[in-house]
Amino acid sequence: MVSSTQPSIKTKPILEMQGITKTFHGFTALHDVNLTIYPGEVHALMGENGAGKSTLMKILAGAYIADAGEIRIDGQLVKMTDPGQARDLGIAIIYQELNLAPNLTVAENIFMGSELKKGATLIDEEGMRRQAAQVLENLDASFDAEDLVSKLSIAEQQQVEIARALKDRSRILVMDEPTAALSDRETEKLFEVVRRLRNEGIAIIYISHRMEEIYALADRVSVIRDGGYIGSLERREISADRLVEMMVGRPLQDLYEHKRRITPGSVVLEVTNLSDGRKVKSASFQLHAGEILGLAGLVGAGRTELARLIFGADRRTSGEIKLQGRSLNISEPTNAIEAGIAYVPEDRKNLGLLLEMSSGENITLNVLDREAKAGIINSKSLVSIVADAINNLAIRLASPSIRAMDLSGGNQQKLLLARWLAINPKVLLLDEPTRGVDIGAKSEIYRIMSDLAAQGVAILMISSELPEIVGMSDRVLVMRAGYLVGEVGGSTREAITQENIMAYATGAREVAKS
């Protein structure tokens, strides 16, 4: 338990949740969780996916009823039984998946379910437009009450949700991963809105796993792990080290579990003068068995394009690819898969998973031909493959029949990994393997990578996170403007440090282009 003094806010708590416990079909989702929120503060709620954050907020919103515990608003005990009651008490939740009707106007969405009336039956459209316009003006919105929601950006649609909460005079606003689909500029605009609301005395519960957002906004942070309350920190106490240890249960320096190899294994993949004539220029390197080879570089350096050339997703104009000394003719991904090369793309939703299909179907997609005889699929074998993958990769899901789109980002990434591991690859190409996943899922993915390397799988890891590159790589190649311009670690005398990597990535240090 992490102790923390009360914040230096002179008011009484607006919300107290004490001893909240919730069980689903024998599974304890929350156990004795506490949360105290004050007016006019941004209170970050953190924890890895599956920790219980959403369950706690659904109890606050009246969507779930707690099995045990108390909820107090302004010191008064309340029994939250339905969303309408929560709304009447001034509680509003803006979910990651926005709940708007795109074919209606902004004003109609703001007043949906609570339309103003003229007399007994007529809707007061002018009154709704006028009141909606006032709320939008207070938010400094750049769109009008008459605009169709379908014409708005995601960031603007979020403002519509916030406007609805303000119209209802909400005093507690919960924001669940609000920047997940926003650009940097839109994120900063949202931050301005959040700060304005805080200054007006609204209590904001901000759910996020992005450390930079916590540093930018949070007055206090509370952490939940495995359904239990771990503790709270005030702003002056917040640090990456403390938050990671609270969320994962071990210090930040222990996050990267990979033990660097002293002696590399045999060469598994050899790339010579590979080029697409545009983004990749004459790249040559070797990848060894049991090695995690990091590929670093600034955005646009050609890292993803190099991986796609190796996998056959893009057409190469020159160069040779050898696997265990044998030259490969890779003209499409099927050729790479048959040779034992797997590729996990950075965009798992659009280029990796089939979101509408079940988790089990996603895992077995690449082995259907292998597990079929005379056109008949061995269902028993597929069930075993799925069960082993879920167990070995610690994929958190109630059933393999759950759709991929309904899983958290970390579990989606592990689902995609499971699909490629099912082919027993010799080479695994990982493009941004932990992008968009929480710290707990990152830790598990690092464990999986280390286990695979220990089993002899050769891994090429592309990452824009330098701490990840430094922590997980046996050796690092650096790309700039389509060329492999440097190498650190391995047999070189240069240490794997962020400084050495950036020196090559920015051109501050030059070597001969390969």
Contact 478, 484 (CB under 8 A): yes
Could you tell me if 212 and 324 lie in one domain? no
From 172, 208, 171, select the one nearest 191 (Cα to Cα).
208
**Cα–Cα distances in angstroms (integers) from residue 412 to residues 1, 208, 288, 336, 468, in the given order:** 30, 18, 28, 23, 20
Statement: the pTM of the whole predicted model exceeds 0.85: no
Give me the torsion for CA of 83, 89, 91, 92, rounded to 10°. Answer: 60
Q: Cα–Cα distance between 212 and 438 in angstroms, integer?
A: 13
Could you tell me if 95 and 204 lie in one domain? yes
Alpha helices by DSSP H, 45-151: 53-60, 83-88, 106-110, 125-138
Q: Structurally, how many domains does the chain consist of?
A: 3
| Domain edge (last residue) among 231, 250, 269 | 250
Q: Give residue 464's pLDDT.
A: 86
Q: Give residue 7's pLDDT.
A: 44
Burial tier of 366 (Cβ tally within 10 Å: 0-12, 13-18, 19+):
middle
Could you tell me if 187 and 287 lie in one domain? no
Q: Give residue 288's pLDDT.
A: 96
Q: Give residue 253's pLDDT.
A: 61
Asked whether residue 345 is assigned to any structural domain, the reply reads no
| Domain edge (last residue) among 361, 389, 424 | 424
Q: Give residue 254's pLDDT.
A: 64
Q: Cα–Cα distance between 475 and 285 in angstroms, integer?
A: 12
Asked whether residue 59 is assigned to any structural domain, the reply reads yes
Below-50 pLDDT ranges, the chain: 1-9, 512-514
Number of alpha carbons in the 13 Å side-chain half-sphere of residue 506: 7
Could you tell me if 445 and 395 lie in one domain? no
Give me the torsion for CA of 388, 434, 194, 189, rounded to 10°. Answer: -140
| Domain edge (last residue) among 396, 424, 452 | 424
Domain that holds residue 238: 15-250
**Cα–Cα distances in angstroms (integers) from residue 34 to residues 28, 71, 136, in the given order:** 15, 10, 34
Q: Give residue 2's pLDDT.
A: 42
From 462, 428, 67, 28, select the one nearest 228 (Cα to Cα).
28
Could you tell me if 361 and 265 lie in one domain? no
User: For residue range 218-267, what is the model confidence (pLDDT) as tens digits?
Assistant: 999 999 988 899 999 999 998 877 887 888 776 656 667 667 766 778 99
Q: Cα–Cα distance between 158 and 165 in angstroms, integer?
A: 11
Could you tell me if 116 and 242 lie in one domain? yes
Asked whether residue 68 is assigned to any structural domain, the reply reads yes
Asked whether residue 3 is assigned to any structural domain, the reply reads no
Q: Helix (H, G, I), strand (E, B), or coil: what is residue 264?
A: coil
Asked whether residue 4 is assigned to any structural domain, the reply reads no
User: For residue range 393-403, what is the model confidence (pLDDT) as tens digits?
Assistant: 888 887 888 88
Residues in contact with 365: Cβ distance below 8 Å, sequence separation at least 6, in sequence order:
354, 357, 419
Q: Give residue 48's pLDDT.
A: 72
* Token pair recorded at residue 218: 């949070």
Burial tier of 1 (Cβ tally within 10 Å: 0-12, 13-18, 19+):
exposed
Could you tell me if 395 and 465 lie in one domain? no
* Token pair recorded at residue 508: 């501050």
Could you tell me if 27 and 124 lie in one domain? yes
Asked whether residue 81 is assigned to any structural domain, the reply reads yes
Q: Cα–Cα distance between 32 and 457 in angstroms, integer?
A: 43
Asked whether residue 6 is assigned to any structural domain, the reply reads no
Could you tell me if 429 and 419 lie in one domain? no
**Cα–Cα distances in angstroms (integers) from residue 510 to residues 118, 483, 503, 507, in the given order:** 74, 12, 8, 6
Asked whether residue 23 is assigned to any structural domain, the reply reads yes
Q: Cα–Cα distance between 412 and 433 in angstroms, integer?
A: 11
- CATH of residue 177: 3.40.50.300
Strand duo 15-24 + 483-489: pairing: unpaired
* Token pair recorded at residue 408: 């958290």
Could you tell me if 183 and 317 lie in one domain? no
Could you tell me if 64 and 178 lie in one domain? yes
Contact 348, 432 (CB under 8 A): no
Could you tell me if 376 and 445 lie in one domain? no
